[in-house]
A and B are shown apart, each in its own frame.
Chain A
Amino acid sequence: MSNVPDNAPQHCPGTQSEDAGKASACAGCPNQNICSSGAASEPDPAIELIKNRLSNVKYKILILSGKGGVGKSTVTSLLGHGLATRNPDINVGVLDADICGPSQPRVLGVRGEQVHYSGSGWSPVYVKDNLSLMSIGFLLGSPDDAVIWRGPKKNGMIKQFLSEVDWGDLDYLLIDTPPGTSDEHLSAVQYLSAAKLTGAVVVTTPQEVALLDVRKELQFCEKLGVKVIGVVENMSLFVCPNCNSRSEIFPATTGGAQHMCAEMGARLLGSLPLDPLLARCCDSGRDYLEQLPHSPASTALRDIVDKIVAVCESGSS
């Protein structure tokens, strides 16, 4: 893992390396003294801070996928609603770690809300009594505003989100991530290393172009020692509303998620069919599970929620 600062000289060995401050590249670097003193290789104090802040959060789940647009945010919001409805006595928080393309405010229907800063930290926005959300989307002035940030700045934001949001007592914290295996993902996993991450739910679609990237994400989890709770296949089948015939819009030419799970030794939690109404609900921020409780996607989703709860609860006892 690289920990080379953005403005470091060429061939910087990295602040955590044994050669930090001693390599030839370090000569003339303004940070040479700090590096050679060893202060930079100490663990980030934020990790301890985050551990304390999240000590009242029972289960922390990352929602990952190497691929973009497969429905990470949709699945996150469905899981959030699903968990919160399943048991009204539990509290669920959603953290949107997608800094450049935050979708949660829209999908959860709380666009335009403000986050408030108080003595105890940032208070998240409440979607319902037991479902709260924090996203960079709340901090932007206009929906056109682009967050043109390189890695270190994004990491700083994630650190703040993890260490300064006053979630209160939470049973589940779902962390929605951007596509890829880069800064946001590494930071989230590292910052949560002391706070204990429960595991990751990986989202995919059936076609090989997506599976290709999702395999990389599974390998990322393996490399960093993140437990994979399971894989959710989204957009699996499309049922024509006119003639009820089934079509594979994103053809599973290589066996889909099921085959990939068998190959990579991961568990398939379930498949969500492609439902145009689900896309509409996400656009308008309505709770799909409440609107269409008997649709095939809702049934599949409740089953997935049950499996995730079972895994979390069995792990903690």
Chain B
Amino acid sequence: MLESVKCVILILSGKGGVGKSTVSTQLALTLKEKGFKVGLLDVDLCGPSVPYILNLETENIHQGAEGWIPVYLDKDQKLGVMSIGFLLKNRNDAVVWRGPKKTAMIKQFLEDVCWQDLDFLVIDTPPGTSDEHITVMENLRQVPQCSAILVTTPQEVAIEDVRKEITFCRKTGIPILGIIENMSGFQCPTCNECTNIFSSGGGKALADVAKVPFLGSLPLDPRVGKLAGQGVAAVKELPDSNTSKVFNHLVTVLTESTQNGS
């Protein structure tokens, strides 16, 4: 089902809560704003966040003649979304599954969803280097245009886990597009003093050590946090924010790399 997808981008991080889903959704929204056709697949089965962030929690998946039809954010069907969240009856329902069941579900997501022609498929993953990741990698081996973006926060506790994820990418042969540092500094809205709550510079330092490109630092911006649940792009709502600059830059990097690659 992925033959008509031009480019697959995996959003990875060994660590949880660093903003994988925020980066995934904002990246997909930014790509959509730039006029691309985008798919967003959420393979975090135990904690799907994408439906909530994009304000699609009440939507349902339909079965079409060619497979599962993703939920579309807009009428033009520019951004299609697939997540296990759409299959749960109640938003509080827990998915208490061991590995083999998760593997089967992800295989279905990768094989049975009818994405139609896509410029980009963004895949949001859970933290770790386990079942979900191994399954995704195994199934994407045949897809030529596939690369990973790693998300981290600046503190060493997070960097430590992201280093493991880099090893994972190297072992499985997925090219790393680069590292994004999230939550790097907080600018106090009252006095404009910038506090590095979770330290700073860790992402850049990691990128240097691991010899992968550094794609930018996203500040800790409560305005962006508040966009969660609305499904709007930061580049549209907050065009002057640093967050938007990073995502605009990221899209430029992505389009260049796909053009060079093809």
- B189 on the A face (CB < 8 A): yes
Pair B128/A245 contact, Cβ less than 8 Å: no
CA distance A219 to B131 in the complex (A): 22
**8 Å CB contact of A186 from B98, B167, B191, B229:** B98
- Known contacts A101-B127, A180-B47, A182-B46; decide if A282 and B164 are in contact (CB<8 Å): no
Chain A nearest Cβ from B101, distance in angstroms: 5
Query: Using Cβ atoms and an 8 Å threshold, which residues of chain A touch B14?
Result: 100-101, 146
The count of chain A contact residues (Cβ–Cβ below 8 Å) is 72
Query: Using Cβ atoms and an 8 Å threshold, which residues of chain A touch B164?
Result: 100-101, 143-147
* Binary A-proximity of B12-32 (CB < 8 A = 1, otherwise 0): 001111100110000000000
Chain B nearest Cβ from A35, distance in angstroms: 16
- B78 on the A face (CB < 8 A): no
- A178 on the B face (CB < 8 A): yes
- B160 on the A face (CB < 8 A): yes
CA distance A274 to B220 in the complex (A): 13
Pair B96/A223 contact, Cβ less than 8 Å: yes
CA distance A154 to B131 in the complex (A): 10
Number of A-B residue pairs, CB cutoff 8 Å, is: 227
Most buried by B among A182, A186, A212, A223: A182
Chain A nearest Cβ from B212, distance in angstroms: 13
Query: Using Cβ atoms and an 8 Å threshold, which residues of chain B touch A251?
Result: 222, 225-226
CA distance A180 to B102 in the complex (A): 12
Query: Using Cβ atoms and an 8 Å threshold, which residues of chain B touch A283?
Result: 155-157, 199
Chain A nearest Cβ from B48, distance in angstroms: 8
Chain B nearest Cβ from A225, distance in angstroms: 12
Pair B130/A148 contact, Cβ less than 8 Å: yes
Chain A nearest Cβ from B225, distance in angstroms: 6
Query: Using Cβ atoms and an 8 Å threshold, which residues of chain B touch A224?
Result: 96
Query: Using Cβ atoms and an 8 Å threshold, which residues of chain A touch B199?
Result: 276, 279-280, 283
- What is the chain A residue whose CB lies nearest that of B186? A249
Interface residues on chain B, size class? 35 or more
- What is the chain A residue whose CB lies nearest that of B126? A180
Query: Using Cβ atoms and an 8 Å threshold, which residues of chain A touch B188?
Result: 240, 242-243, 245, 247
Query: Using Cβ atoms and an 8 Å threshold, which residues of chain A touch B239?
Result: none
**8 Å CB contact of A146 from B53, B100, B131, B165:** B165
**8 Å CB contact of B96 from A6, A149, A220:** A220
Pair A101/B128 contact, Cβ less than 8 Å: yes
- A209 on the B face (CB < 8 A): yes
Pair B101/A4 contact, Cβ less than 8 Å: yes
Chain B nearest Cβ from A279, distance in angstroms: 5
Pair A150/B225 contact, Cβ less than 8 Å: no
Pair B99/A6 contact, Cβ less than 8 Å: yes
Chain B nearest Cβ from A305, distance in angstroms: 22
Pair B171/A148 contact, Cβ less than 8 Å: yes
- What is the chain B residue whose CB lies nearest that of A263? B92
* Binary B-proximity of A218-237 (CB < 8 A = 1, otherwise 0): 11100110000000000000
- Known contacts A182-B98, A243-B191; decide if A103 and B229 are in contact (CB<8 Å): no
- What is the chain A residue whose CB lies nearest that of B161? A101
Pair A209/B49 contact, Cβ less than 8 Å: yes
A-side interface mostly = loop
- B197 on the A face (CB < 8 A): yes
Query: Using Cβ atoms and an 8 Å threshold, which residues of chain B touch A8?
Result: 100
- A179 on the B face (CB < 8 A): yes
Pair B52/A146 contact, Cβ less than 8 Å: no
- A96 on the B face (CB < 8 A): no
From 76 to 109 in chain A, residues with beta carbon under 8 angstroms from any chain B beta carbon are 99-101, 103, 106-107
- A47 on the B face (CB < 8 A): no
Query: Using Cβ atoms and an 8 Å threshold, which residues of chain A touch B17?
Result: 67-70, 179, 205, 210
User: Could you list 19 further interchain pairs (A-B, Cβ under 8 angstroms) beyond the known A69-B18, A148-B171, A223-B94?
Assistant: A2-B97, A67-B47, A68-B127, A69-B153, A101-B14, A101-B160, A106-B156, A151-B100, A181-B46, A182-B96, A209-B228, A212-B47, A242-B191, A245-B189, A248-B222, A250-B225, A280-B199, A282-B157, A283-B199
30 A-B contacts (beta carbon < 8 Å) = A3-B98, A4-B101, A66-B47, A68-B17, A68-B18, A99-B130, A100-B14, A100-B161, A101-B164, A144-B163, A146-B171, A148-B171, A150-B134, A151-B98, A151-B130, A154-B130, A179-B17, A179-B46, A180-B126, A182-B98, A182-B102, A186-B98, A209-B53, A216-B47, A240-B195, A245-B191, A247-B222, A249-B186, A249-B220, A253-B229
Residues of chain B at the chain A interface (Cβ within 8 Å): 14-18, 21-22, 45-47, 49, 52-53, 91-103, 126-131, 133-134, 153, 155-158, 160-161, 163-168, 171-172, 186, 188-191, 193, 195-199, 220, 222, 225-226, 228-229
The 8 closest A-B CB pairs, nearest first, are A68-B16, A69-B17, A151-B99, A180-B46, A242-B193, A213-B47, A100-B128, A101-B161
Residues of chain A at the chain B interface (Cβ within 8 Å): 1-6, 8, 66-70, 73, 99-101, 103, 106-107, 143-152, 154, 178-183, 185-186, 205, 207-210, 212-213, 215-220, 223-224, 238, 240-243, 245, 247-251, 253, 264, 274, 276, 279-280, 282-283
